[in-house]
Structure 1
Amino acid sequence: MKSIFIKIATCIIIGILTVSILYGLSDKLTHQKNSFYRYFPPHPAVYNKAIDLKFNSYYFAGVSRDKVYLSNLTAPLHLLEIDPITADTNHYTIKINDKNPLKFSSSARVSILSPYFYISDGITPRILRGTLGQWTAKRIMYDSAYFNDAKPIGAKSFVLRSISAKTNENILGKEFSVKPHVFLKDKLLEKQGDGIFSADGILRYNKDLSKIIYLYHYRNEYMVIDTSLNLLHKGHTIDTNTIAKVKIASIESNHTKTISEPPVVINKNSYTYGNYLFVHSGLMAKNERKETFQETSVIDVYNIISDTYEFSIYIYPYRKQKLKRFIITDKYLMGIHNEYLVIYDLNPKWFKELKPKSKINQDILSR
């Protein structure tokens, strides 16, 4: 178990450092014109308001009804509640109900899946749960698996990305409160060369569809997976990069691997809501101006039911700060621009399937 802990910790640390550095280094590669085109409809997302967060370390924990919740990378037990209509804010400190004092690592994250909030820490490992509005959390899991990402998919179940003890590669799994507690699904993540960086990606849960979405960072592919970890179908982003362009080097001193050259980052970030997958792309299209692409952040919108590209959105900097993180609701695109939360109204003309027809969706996704 100790060796797994070391591998998880090393992967998280190396991952944070390499991704942060290489996003900057790969500028030349991602600003080359590629052989695909984007469609930009008029005004799909319109600026509404901005809120000064005072700090640049906030991230989105999730949404519940008419509120959005942010937590802080440097203060894992802090929650900021925001009403996007009135811009009213409330600050909460999560209390821990445990017989022993608990310390959380820098990888600890807060997630919202109404009516609960969760604290997950893959280094410890540890998962706690509390009820929204009460702000006291306690353990709910057996805490038997180390992980580098986790998303709640039910009251007492999580989808995990971990490191396989057999292959030392990224693997998806599920953790729940009853035996066997952890189920790991081999070969769900498809490696190309190495099984760590080539399979690196963004793990999301779509509550509307009860489906897991995994979007690869370095290739034009995403997977739609059910909550039992069965692959339903694969989708593709509009670029043509089917093979991850990642070069790996070994670090002999600690028997780990790292990225040796700046990779081509296809998909920087994502969020899923309704029938849609929103992708913060790292590549410039053939019909884009280099100056515009460099200045803005491009969000490509996909329909994950029909596996079709819909259109793209330019998100412009706010006070010279580019988009860093984003989240989607049925009315808003909300983005963090360093220390500012910027709220954009979504034009219903272009977003007709933010509230899916569940029966039709389930029939199609079960194919």
Structure 2
Amino acid sequence: MILIANTKLRLYITEVVTLLYILLFVYAAVSKLLDFENFQVQLGQSPLLSAFASWVSWLVPIVELLIVLMLIIPTSRKKGLIASLSLMTMFTAYIFIILHYSSFVPCSCGGILEKMSWNVHLIFNIVFMILTTVAIIFSNSPDGHDNSSSLLKSVKWISATVVLSAGTVIILFLSSEDIMHHDNPFIRRYSQHPVVFISAKDLKFNSYYLAGSYNNKVFLGNFTDPLHILSVDAGIQNSKKNTIVFDPQKIPFRSVKILVRGRYFYLTDGSVPAIFRGRISNWKVTKELKGIPYFTLVSPVDSSTIAFRSNNAKNAANVLGTFNGESDPKIIYHRDLLQAQGGGIFDTDGTILFSEELKKTIYLYYYRNEFMVIDRRGKLVYRSHTIDTITHAKIKVASLNNGKQFAMSSPPFSVNAHAAVCKNLLFVHSEVKGKFENDKLWEKSFIIDVYDLNRKSYLMSFPIFHTESNKLNSFMVTPSHLYALIGNNLVVYEIRPVLKKEMKLN
């Protein structure tokens, strides 16, 4: 009687576990298929499966339904339990890696499980793995005779299933990470709150621009009032207006811009051309960097060296160069850096940045997915790409005045609208939507992609949300904050540890 009761109990436990898995997998698969687009987006944000989201999003619900079919059919029930253990092991390994080895934690996968925390989800999966293990052992010896042969056979199957399933997830994780960081198929990783909004300040006018930062202060220039600099503290609560002491005499300035680099400020105008330097301690111009050529972009490298872009190449094409007021020759053009795709003017347009910590200049193209890292002497360190797929500038150029002037004949397709650099990180405001991305997020925010210049890799993305305006004029990043000019507002975000830990020099 005891043997019969034991046999009935084993059969009952096996049936209950089987029924639980049928209910779980049917619910999970149907939930995924009913909200398939959202499920695919969530997989696209996964640190383990980003690179494989396209086919994994279909494979998972199909496998779940196939396992249900195996569990329903009595002759394939044992195989179904092994398959259930395999899939549940994969899910458990997935959660464990996310919690302990992932650079960030994404959202859950939907349904009831979406209401669980990741730790509760992990415990839930482990409990189901234990139940499956018991059911497999019982199904191999339903009469209650747990002889060493049948028990050893069950242990072998269970061990092999767990090891192979966990190993598969580990391989997927390592492969996906390598693909995402170095050969990204245009899938963004939205980390959980790498920056957090602190406050916004209404500047009343949209003519301000970010001139630089130093010693926990941010400096803003004004195109319509070029000799006045607004300095604000890190939290943008307190501000002060500074006046640059300078006698312009009869210099025909047309487009003055102030740049702050460390203790120095630079008064620049490429149409003169002229660059003057002074200290921010008294805002007094004390030196002119004489001999600078005409330029369209400029970025100070040190107190005497300037990286610039001018139009003195053939057919007024763009060319990069360096100027050193204390060397001979003072001007060196690096004509092999910018690579033209159609004239060399608009197709090579971009922005020039300088990392004071890396001592490197970065040139980012506006209309294609490419940027260059250049050393202080103007020599190319390497070329790299942003994660979008726009390799060729989508612009149309018309020649005017018998080929002496050029203009865009249609609006250009902008790829990288704005950029900033802080230590080893390049921040790019992208205007191209990637795979598995939410339309509503793009409608209400600006997307910032982050790249590690040392590792030549993509790291993560995050949104900066609209204020009263939906136009981002520029932004700047310091080791502790991100500042953005959105319409008339200066907005400040705090850099959180998940992003701050990536700021390093080696």
Task: Indicate whether the TM-score tops 0.5.
Answer: yes
1:166 Cα deviation after fit: 4.2
SS where residue 491 of structure 2 aligns? strand
Secondary structure at 1:191 match in 2: coil
Deviations 1:326-365 (A, max 9, x none): 10001101111121111101111223132x23xx3xxxxx
| Closer, same or farther: CA 301–256 of 1 in aligned 2, 3 Å | same
**Counterpart position of 2:232:** 82
Whole-angstrom CA distance in 2 between matches of 1:295 and 1:253: 44
- CA distance in structure 2 between the aligned counterparts of 1:319 and 1:42, rounded to whole angstroms: 24
What residue in structure 1 maps to residue 349 of structure 2? 200
**Distance apart, 1:230 and its partner CA:** 0.4
CA shift, 1:138, in A, is 3.9
Tell me, in whole angstroms, the C-alpha distance in 1 between the residues paired with 2:377 and 2:258.
Answer: 23
Whole-Å Cα distance in 2 between the matches of residues 202 and 174 of structure 1? Answer: 15
Partner deviation per Cα, 1:118-157 (whole Å, 9 max, x = no partner): 0110000110001112111144212341000111111011
**Residue 342 of structure 1 aligns with which residue?**
491
> Which amino acid is the alignment partner of residue 385 of structure 2?
H
Does the 8 Å CA contact 1:140/1:156 hold for their aligned counterparts?
no
Provide the residue aligned with 2:210 in structure 1: 60
Distance 1:196 1:322, change over 3 A: closer
Q: Which residue is 1:50 aligned to?
A: 200
CA distance in 2, matches of 1:311, 1:86: 26
What residue number does 2:278 align with?
130
Divergent runs of 4+, >6 A: none
TM-score after normalising by structure 2:
0.61
**Change in 2 beyond 3 A, CA 1:141/1:261:** same
SS of equivalent residue, structure 2 residue 291: coil
- Of 102, 105, 108, 2:256 maps to 108
Residue 333 to residue 86, structure 1, CA distance change in 2 (3 Å): closer
Q: Match for residue 140 of structure 1?
A: 288
SS in 2 for 1:69: strand
1:307 aligns with 2:456: yes
User: Residue 192 of structure 1 contacts residue 243 of structure 1 at CA under 8 Å; is this kept in 2?
Assistant: yes
Counterpart among 172, 176, 180 of residue 320 in structure 2: 172
Q: Who is 1:212 aligned against?
A: 361
Rg: which structure is higher? 2
Counterpart of 1:239 in structure 2 is 388
> C-alpha separation between the residues in 2 aligned to 1:60 and 1:67?
11
For the Cα contact (< 8 Å) 1:315–1:323, is it kept in 2? no
What is the DSSP-based 3-state SS (H/G/I as helix, E as strand, rest coil) of the residue aligned with 1:63? strand
Residues 199, 235 of structure 2: 8 Å contact kept? no
**Identical aligned pairs, as a percentage?**
36
Q: Is the 8 A contact 1:142 1:181 kept in 2?
A: no
Match of 1:363 in 2: none
Query: What code does the residue aligned with 1:208 have?
Result: E
Q: By how many angstroms is 1:165 displaced?
A: 4.8
Within 5 Å, give how 1:175-186 maps onto structure 2.
Answer: 175-178=323-326, 179-186=328-335
Distance 1:127 1:85 in 2: 31
Q: Distance in 2 between matches of 1:330 and 1:318?
A: 23
- More displaced 10-residue stretch of structure 1: 284-293 or 39-48: 284-293
> Secondary structure of 2:227's partner?
strand
In 2, the alpha carbon distance for the partners of 1:263 and 1:101 equals 38
**Whole-angstrom distance in 1 between the partners of 2:345 and 2:311:** 8
The alpha-carbon distance between structure 1 residues 320 and 110, as it changes in their structure 2 partners (threshold 3 A), is closer
TM-score, normalization by structure 1: 0.84
Name whichever of 46-55 and 328-337 sits farther off. Answer: 46-55
Tell me the distance in 1 between the aligned counterparts of 2:188 and 2:471.
20
CA RMSD, aligned part only? 1.8
> Is residue 2:447 matched to residue 1:298?
yes
Indicate yes or no: 2:269 matched with 1:121: yes
> Equivalents in 1 of 2:276, 2:469: separation in Å?
38
Structure 1 SS opposite 2:442: helix
Shift of residue 285 of structure 1?
1.3
The whole-number CA distance in structure 2 between the counterparts of 1:247 and 1:85 is 43
User: What letter matches 1:67 in structure 2?
Assistant: K
Partners of 2:336 and 2:189 in 1: CA distance: 35
Asked if residue 163 in structure 1 is aligned to residue 337 in structure 2, the reply is no
Which structure has greater helix proportion?
Answer: 2
What is the CA–CA distance in structure 1 between the aligned matches of 2:384 and 2:424, rounded to whole Å? 13
In the alignment, the residues of structure 2 paired with residue 320 and residue 148 of structure 1 have an alpha-carbon distance, to the nearest angstrom, of: 28
The offset of 1:278, in angstroms, is 0.2
Which structure exhibits the higher relative contact order, with contacts defined as CA atoms closer than 8 Å and separated by 6 or more residues? Answer: 1
Instruction: Read off the aligned partner of 2:299 and give its amino acid letter.
Output: K
Question: For the residues of structure 1 that align with 2:473 and 2:308, how far apart are their CA atoms?
Answer: 24
Q: Residue 198 of structure 1: CA displacement?
A: 1.0
Aligned residues: 322
Given that 2:194 and 2:499 are in contact with CA atoms closer than 8 Å, whether structure 1 keeps it comes out as yes
Flag the 1:236–1:163 CA change in 2: closer, same or farther, 3 A.
Answer: same
- SS for the counterpart of 1:293 is helix
